[in-house]
Amino acid sequence: NPGFVVRITQAGLDYAHQHGITVLEKELAQLKLPDISGDFRIWHVGKVQYEISRLSLRSFHLPYSRISLVPGVGLQVSISNAFAELDGNWRVKMHFIRDHGSFDLRVENIYIKIHLRLGSDSSGKPTIDTSACSTRISNIRVHFSGKFGWLYNLFHKAIESRFRKILESKVCESVAKSVRSELQPYAQTLPVTARIDAMAGIDYSLVAPPTATAQSLDVDLKGEFFSLAHRSAVPFPPLPLALPPDHDRMVYFGASSYFFNTASIAYHAAGALVFEITNSVIPKGVEFHLNTSTFSAFIPQLEKMYPHMEMKVRLSAPSAPFLNIGPDGLSLKPVVDIQTYAILPNSTLAPLFLLSLVSNVSAVIDVKSGHIVGNLKVGRLKLSLKRSDVGTFQVRMLQSIMNVLASSILLPRLNERLAQGFPLPLPDRIQLSNILVGFHQNFLLLGADVQYQPQ
């Protein structure tokens, strides 16, 4: 099962198709056509030798085209009523008569059908190539100028037939070249590994070739965070991920609970879920001093054991916290160990007590600059004593102090990191707009429209 799914709707394919047709139009306008020569016999005239040279395309227009999904196969691009204009030179030899001139050629009602096959390579990057291409030209009109232009017009059908065969083959050659040189390299800009920071990255490699259905193109990705220092296997598989049939946006991203929980595992393994608090990191606006004098109001024996000493608080998660995603949103219930120390005059640490903190945490999710960003909100804290090196005391008396540490110090640091976000799997020069965020059982659904920024 994938940990992350990208769904491109018909609207998204249509948008990509517009830009692709623009590129193809430019490619076709640069077609190089070979010279044509031969001979022909005309009744009462005899053998005529001719040569067509310096063929030059003035324009190639693709006014009507559409892209459609072929379930289980891939994509089909159909182009109709295309037209092109060419010019060139002609030369004729008949008995002792020689002449030359120029000609204009207009190709009308060109029909092109392209089948695109989608796949993935050994690195998990998407691949795209042309599995079939056909071109049919319904009408070619040639007008020759010069003294013997009338002669050419007598056997224009033979010349038009040769033009048709050459142009039909060259169009499909150009299509295949455009897919290889433009579309395939662009598809490969989809990052299969996204480095997030110095500790973790995301594996966005394809776990299967893209799948075309009647409504959309679905791309299944691994969707797994990993520690840069040491990558290890995730101890649980992703659950099946079935996106709803929404189609209001060009693209949808399905991020499973597996995706987010592997982030928790990766950062926990990297030691990122450890926070140390001393007086130096307490914001100036917070009326709170982290020392034994403050805590002695609740633990009187501290004043005798460690009088007027500064303290250090170390918060750590004994295990990676797992989150739940449901229709009501995203939530988690982390367990945090809170180890407190007195800082002795010689700077060594004397352990005071170890608390366990449990809280309900909810998250607000958004997308900014192509990144999933979040903001955590903490509910009521529940404290329990795991160990004390200073004797007995009433743990509930420390509730207000821990609320300050959590809301004023720990939470802002976490939200600052979450505001930087985690990159979505996007190819180059893509921006998202009109963002939609929805929650479903075991996955987060993000919808967006796409804007391509040309170089």
CATH topology of domain 193-452: Bactericidal permeability-increasing protein; domain 2 (3.15.20)
Task: Report the amino acid identity of residue 385.
Answer: L
Q: Report the CATH fold assignment for 12-187.
A: Bactericidal permeability-increasing protein; domain 1 (3.15.10)
Q: Are 286 and 400 in contact (CB under 8 A)?
A: no
- Kind of pairing between the strands at 4-9 and 211-212: unpaired
- Domain 12-187 matches domain 193-452 at the CATH topology level: no
Domain-by-domain residue ranges, the chain?
Answer: 12-187, 193-452
Per-residue tens of pLDDT for the chain, all 455 residues: 999 999 999 999 999 999 999 999 999 999 999 999 888 777 777 888 888 899 999 999 999 999 999 999 999 999 999 999 999 998 888 777 788 888 899 999 999 999 999 999 999 999 999 999 999 999 998 888 766 666 666 667 777 888 899 999 999 999 999 999 999 999 999 999 999 999 999 999 999 999 999 999 999 999 999 999 888 899 999 999 999 998 899 999 999 999 999 999 999 999 999 999 999 988 888 888 999 999 999 999 999 999 999 999 999 999 999 999 999 999 999 999 999 999 999 999 999 999 999 999 999 999 999 999 999 999 989 999 999 999 999 999 999 899 888 888 899 999 999 999 999 999 999 999 999 999 999 999 999 999 999 87
H-type helices in 124-245, by residue range?
Answer: 149-154, 156-178, 184-187
- For 315, 357, 368, 428, the CA distances from 257, given in Å and listed in that order, are 25, 23, 20, 27
The two three-digit tokens of residue 335, written as one number: 């367990």
